[in-house]
Chains A and B, each alone.
Chain A
Amino acid sequence: MNSGSQRSASDVPTLKARGSATETDPHIQVRNLNAFYGKVQALANVNLEIPKRQITVIMGPSGCGKSTLLKTFNRFLELTDGTKILGEVLVDGQDIYAKGIDETEVRKRVGLLAQRPSPLPMSIYDNVAYGMHVHRMKRSRQEYKDAVRHYLEIAGLWDEVRKRMHDPATSLSIGQQQRLCLARGLAVEPEIILGDEPTSSLDPISSLNIESRLLDLKRVYTTVIVTHTLRQAKRLADYVIYMYLGEVIEAGPAHEVFSHPKHERTKAYLEGLV
């Protein structure tokens, strides 16, 4: 087993062929997505594509709908009372809002790292193993133990917790908790990682730590991050989506959008915050 965290991402043993034919097919396709909180429209006619195995950053001023859009990707938006979602969100060509789709399976394939780390009220070990038990993914105690270690290594937390696996997860620092949540989310073998401002509760060092994890992981996972920090967007993004008032204003490869934005609004945003 590798002890360092840099190499482990490339030998995740459980990845299989994911169904889509080529690397250049978009992983997520959004078609005519409209979302409402009651009568208030939060997303308007969103059409976009999220590329595979890259880090996509959704940015925009507060209230523009970035978190709302993110939450449509793992069917979390419907957890809020009174929301309405119209349109299609296709993951590998399958509309996750189609009738008969099991939303818990969607959430297994599309993981979410929340803004504030929320460790489950159990030990560090049990936190990481939780999702695997939910889906009964392993067959023996030893397999679970190996997997927990593996994902803690990927998240860069193993060395810090190896001696206290059965301590309560709340005894970790906030930066460690967020890495724990990352390990927990990865343990169910998603294809896509969503991050809803995943570093905004953290101190700068922990933030950078998480960022470097995400950069590592993009070799294997498609990542979509919402951020309100332009600097973070520039550090992480391969692909950028700029939103304003519920609409997608511009979307494209990071180097293009940052240096030659096509829309006035995008330009204004980039200038206003740099």
Chain B
Amino acid sequence: MRRGRWERRHVAEALVKAMMYASVALVAGSLALILFTVVLRGLPALSWEMVSKPPEGGYYMGKGGGVLNAIIGSLLLASGGTLAALIFGLPIALYLETYLGDSPWGRYVRLSLDVLWGIPSIVYGAFGFTLMLAIGLRASLLAGIIVLALLELPIMVRAMDEVIRRMPVDLEQAALALGSTKLEVAMRIVTRQMMPGIITAILLAFGRGIGDAASVLFTSGYTDRITTSLLRPTASLPLAVFFQLASPFPEVQKRGYASALILTVIVLVISLGSRWISGRVSRYTVK
């Protein structure tokens, strides 16, 4: 009586497990397919010229040049936005944990952060546009940085809050017992202990910012030149991909795939790099 494996409940479980495996394969397979497609179609058009030169005359009709303008533009946009988000975000995250903890006010702040997190980038872009009109700012690197900062802020603070909340309480209390003020605990101990997590949060936000198109669409404009000024329009990789794909010329479309590949590589490097960095920096943390 122990060997009956064909009861209804066992068959049901076997079926569900099969469906589970299929679903897992679907999800993992999608990732593989996406990466594979991007590499397969992007690699042929990728060349040194692509990453080292801005578009030359006639680029959009198939002549020479590359997307250096977009690469540099994206890096500037994302760096600026991430820095701005960090300046406001780190204090918010520290304050949340240090002073607010689980108080009702803390919950409201966290709720609003979660709500901000859920706002799509197109709305941030639209808002950025209204802001630009209101203060008379034209489509520029600066406008793009401001909007990206808004977009990245909730992502960064949430990720940091996650990490800071896991701070071992004894560590904090040991410091307080030795006479530190809460501020000192926050600045010296929390930041150091949470450094790997903080770095991961920063890189996470950066990766999101560099890949976004809908927000910079409105606000940073586009140009074929390499950005030199905060107040002039700037190119970005996502938009470069988009515009190149919209071209009727197959050579340009192919370069669009290559640009997509460049963007993907950058994001992957950041994602994997953040794991590596947080691994290195955790030398001083208490486990």
Report A's interface with B, CB cutoff 8 A: 94, 96, 100-102, 104-106, 134
Do B9 and A102 touch across chains, with their CB atoms under 8 A apart? no
In the bound assembly, the distance between CA atoms of A106 and B1 in angstroms comes to: 10
A/B interface sample: 13 pairs, CB < 8 A: A96-B2, A100-B3, A100-B5, A101-B2, A101-B3, A102-B2, A102-B3, A102-B4, A102-B5, A102-B10, A105-B1, A105-B2, A106-B2
In the bound assembly, the distance between CA atoms of A60 and B281 in angstroms comes to: 44
B7 to chain A, nearest CB (A): 9
Q: Which residues on the B side are within 8 Å of A102 (C-beta)?
A: 2-5, 10
For the residues of B in contact with A, the DSSP-based class is loop
Q: Which residues on the B side are within 8 Å of A100 (C-beta)?
A: 3, 5
In the bound assembly, the distance between CA atoms of A102 and B10 in angstroms comes to: 10
Q: Which of B255-271 contact A (CB under 8 A)?
A: none
- Select from chain A the residue with minimum beta-carbon distance to B8: A136
B6 to chain A, nearest CB (A): 10
- Select from chain B the residue with minimum beta-carbon distance to A99: B3
Contact with A along B87-117 (1 / 0, CB 8 A): 0000000000000000000000000000000
Q: Which of B1-25 contact A (CB under 8 A)?
A: 1-5, 9-10
Report B's interface with A, CB cutoff 8 A: 1-5, 9-10
Closest 5 CB pairs of A and B: A105-B2, A101-B2, A100-B3, A102-B2, A102-B5
Q: Which residues on the A side are within 8 Å of B9 (C-beta)?
A: 134
B174 to chain A, nearest CB (A): 29
In the bound assembly, the distance between CA atoms of A100 and B2 in angstroms comes to: 8
Q: Given A101-B2, A101-B3, A105-B2, 14 other A-B contacts at CB below 8 A?
A: A94-B2, A96-B2, A100-B3, A100-B5, A102-B2, A102-B3, A102-B4, A102-B5, A102-B10, A104-B10, A105-B1, A105-B4, A106-B2, A134-B9
A17 to chain B, nearest CB (A): 13
In the bound assembly, the distance between CA atoms of A134 and B4 in angstroms comes to: 15
A95 to chain B, nearest CB (A): 10
In the bound assembly, the distance between CA atoms of A106 and B3 in angstroms comes to: 10
- Select from chain B the residue with minimum beta-carbon distance to A101: B2
B155 to chain A, nearest CB (A): 32
A136 to chain B, nearest CB (A): 8
In the bound assembly, the distance between CA atoms of A134 and B8 in angstroms comes to: 11
- Select from chain B the residue with minimum beta-carbon distance to A95: B2
- Select from chain B the residue with minimum beta-carbon distance to A105: B2
A189 to chain B, nearest CB (A): 12
- Select from chain B the residue with minimum beta-carbon distance to A134: B9
In the bound assembly, the distance between CA atoms of A104 and B5 in angstroms comes to: 10
- Select from chain B the residue with minimum beta-carbon distance to A91: B2
In the bound assembly, the distance between CA atoms of A94 and B1 in angstroms comes to: 11
B171 to chain A, nearest CB (A): 28
- Select from chain A the residue with minimum beta-carbon distance to B3: A100
Which among A94, A101, A105, A106 has the greatest number of chain B C-beta atoms within 10 A? A105
In the bound assembly, the distance between CA atoms of A101 and B5 in angstroms comes to: 9
In the bound assembly, the distance between CA atoms of A96 and B4 in angstroms comes to: 14
In the bound assembly, the distance between CA atoms of A102 and B9 in angstroms comes to: 12
- Select from chain B the residue with minimum beta-carbon distance to A98: B2
